Amino acid sequence: MRFLTQIIGVGLVILALVDIYLTVLFPRLGSSILSLRLSKGLWRLFWLVAYIIPFKDKKLLAHSGPILVVATVVVWVCLLLWGFALIVWTELGWAIQSSRGSTDTDFVTALYYSGFSLTTLGTGDFTPETNFQRLLMILEAAVGFSVFTLTITYLLSIYSALIRRNTFALSLHHRTAGTADAAEIIARLEADGHCGVLQQDISDIARDLINLLESQNSYPALIYFRFRQTYYALPRILLLAMDTASLIKTALNTEKYYSLVHSTAVAQLWGGGLQLLVELSSLVLPKSRSNINDTLEQMWRKRYYQAVEKFKAEGIETASDLEAGASKYISLRRKWNPSLARLANYMAYNWSEIAPHES
């Protein structure tokens, strides 16, 4: 029984350390053992409570991200605390003795001793009497100090990435004049009589999107930071990125704007957004069947022609064959719209909130 208890304790410690390593030191989307599963479970709980209790604008979900991050850290500390407590529990009274008379041998005392060692506060009124326990106390203190240091670094990194994401979202919001319509970004194409300015603008957006892709890969918990202002929403960011790339590929005159349509900036914008959607769909979003019907495709066709009319009004030359362009636009949207709609639903947004111009 004593050996089995210690084996369980060692297992809990290893589980915590491996998850900390995969989450903080080797951060990749889907690589963690506990943290991503814990975040998904707690998000689901927040989601259900927000729908059962009619909070205005689902404001409860705005607190989900910080609470999920804190909960992850608490789970790591508890696993280490309980793991080391199980290791020392059976050795209370002989390998570990109290300096104040008889030694209690209950599990609470083991937690007390483990907590003092883990938080590097010392052993309190308990003294290790064997070399193994002395070394174990040093090891636990070193682990505790390292974990607390890594936790602080992890929190700072998450909030640094979150600030970059929010800055990117706010930039897109103002680029579209608050309309959430990607056509507004492209409509400035003829502002200076050539496409160089827009190409640089698209290049900047693509660069920020790739940074977002890498941040989301490194810190999966970012997806659970949901703000009440819709323009900060991750689905809104991806909608603007993918729709901008789709419209450039299908609605512009390819002869006049060849350097823009076939630019690396547009390729980067399309590829980065699609990769992020694919990775989130495969590792985070619940599985569901795509539901694309004629009504939806007709809405996309109408959206395409509305964008074309906007471009014409700004003096932008559009595709010579608009019917073929509309068909190609629908084909491109088939590749990203289902995943984006699933992401919006997963994050408790209505589609009219993400794309108000398409409602």
Please tell me the predicted confidence (pLDDT) of residue 31. 77
Please tell me the predicted confidence (pLDDT) of residue 51. 81
Residue 95 located in a structural domain: yes
Joined together, the tokens standing for residue 68 give 């999920």
> Do 232 and 311 share a domain, yes or no?
yes
Residue 284 located in a structural domain: yes
Please tell me the predicted confidence (pLDDT) of residue 174. 94
> Do 59 and 138 share a domain, yes or no?
yes
Residues 278, 59: Cα–Cα separation, whole Å: 28
Contacts of residue 185, defined as CB under 8 A and 6 or more positions apart, other chains included, come to 175, 176, 198, 201, 202, 205, 240, 244
Please tell me the predicted confidence (pLDDT) of residue 122. 62
Please tell me the predicted confidence (pLDDT) of residue 125. 81
Please tell me the predicted confidence (pLDDT) of residue 56. 63
End-to-end alpha carbon distance in the chain = 64
Please tell me the predicted confidence (pLDDT) of residue 32. 84
Domain span holding position 288:
181-358
Measured on CA atoms in the order 89, 91, 93, 97, is the torsion positive or negative? negative
Residues 226, 165: Cα–Cα separation, whole Å: 12
Q: How many domains does the chain have?
A: 2
> Do 115 and 239 share a domain, yes or no?
no
Residue 172 located in a structural domain: no
CATH number at residue 75: 1.10.287.70
Residues 308, 58: Cα–Cα separation, whole Å: 36
Please give the chain's pLDDT, 359 residues, in tens. Answer: 778 999 999 999 999 999 999 999 888 777 788 998 999 999 999 988 888 876 666 788 889 999 999 999 999 999 999 999 999 998 988 888 887 778 888 999 999 999 988 987 665 688 888 999 989 999 999 999 999 999 999 999 999 999 999 999 999 999 999 999 999 999 876 655 556 677 888 999 999 999 999 999 999 999 999 998 999 999 999 999 999 999 999 999 999 899 899 999 999 999 999 999 999 988 888 887 767 788 899 999 999 999 999 999 988 999 999 999 999 999 999 999 999 999 999 999 999 999 998 87
> Do 30 and 69 share a domain, yes or no?
yes
Please tell me the predicted confidence (pLDDT) of residue 167. 97
3-class state of residue 291 by DSSP:
coil
Please tell me the predicted confidence (pLDDT) of residue 57. 60
Joined together, the tokens standing for residue 52 give 């059962």
- Look up tokens 């992020």; give the residue: 276
Residue 169 located in a structural domain: no
Residues 343, 350: Cα–Cα separation, whole Å: 11
pTM above the 0.85 mark? yes
3-class state of residue 124 by DSSP:
coil
Please tell me the predicted confidence (pLDDT) of residue 191. 59
